[in-house]
Amino acid sequence: MSAKTKPRTPKKKKSEEKPRCGLCGKTKKLTKTECCGQWICDDEDKYVIFSYARNSCSRNHSRFTLCGYHHTEEHEGSWKDCPICRNGFETEMYVYYGTNEYNFEKLENPPAYLPTKCVKCGVIISLGYDGYSIKGGEYWCEECSNKEMEKLHTRKMP
Ligand SMILES: [Zn+2]
Ligand SMILES: [Zn+2]
Ligand SMILES: [Zn+2]
Ligand SMILES: [Zn+2]
């Protein structure tokens, strides 16, 4: 008795294409993201504490995207239709975290939101990119915040 065995031809994986960081395209020193398994620069160690620099691909993805947040907070399902993520941020920040350049996949139908304006001078503040401060639930642009700070510092004590 000879058992018929189908000849298995192992599929050869083409490894011609080098893995690249999905954000900046570099091919050196890569790792895979914990949240979505994408190739990314293994550069977290480059980050200098308190420098607020955004030069680390892996840090940017884990800190400034819904994908990273969703994973860190251990939500279920996909971040794209996660109600906890959706309700966890102001719409503008939700859209920013879901569509900024640190994403591999962007939110397809980001919700609309009204622009945030400085309560003092009325300039539109882009919450993801501009500096601002919040006082009593109202947004102040960077310039007005600075002016206010100066006023406080120069105010004479009674
Ligand atoms: Zn990179
Ligand atoms: Zn991710
Ligand atoms: Zn989530
Ligand atoms: Zn202002």
Residue 49's pLDDT is what? 59
**Higher-confidence position of 72 and 46:** 72
DSSP string, 41-95: E--GGGPPTT------HHHHHHHHSHHHHHHHTT--S-GGG-HHHHHHS-HHHHH
What 3-state DSSP class applies to 106?
A: coil
Q: Is 89 a residue whose pLDDT tops 70?
A: yes
What 3-state DSSP class applies to 2?
A: coil
Q: What angle do CA 54, 55, 57 make, to 5 degrees?
A: 100
Strands 39-41 and 138-141: unpaired
Question: Ligand 3 center to residue 67 CA distance, Å?
Answer: 8
Residue 17's pLDDT is what? 79
| Residues that place a CB less than 5 A from ion ligand 2 | 33, 35-36, 67
109-139: per-residue pLDDT in tens? 999 999 999 999 999 999 999 999 999 999 9
Domain boundaries of the chain, sorted by first residue: 19-114, 115-158
Predicted confidence band of residue 15 (pLDDT cuts 50, 70, 90): low
Q: How many CB atoms lie within 10 A of CB 110?
A: 14
- Radius of gyration (Cα) for the chain, nearest Å? 23
43-71: per-residue pLDDT in tens? 876 555 555 566 789 999 999 999 999 99
Question: Ligand 2 center to residue 63 CA distance, Å?
Answer: 10
Residue 11's pLDDT is what? 58
Question: Ligand 4 center to residue 137 CA distance, Å?
Answer: 15
| Residues that place a CB less than 5 A from ion ligand 1 | 21, 23-24, 26, 41, 57
Question: Ligand 4 center to residue 140 CA distance, Å?
Answer: 5
Question: Ligand 1 center to residue 72 CA distance, Å?
Answer: 20
Strands 124-125 and 132-135: unpaired
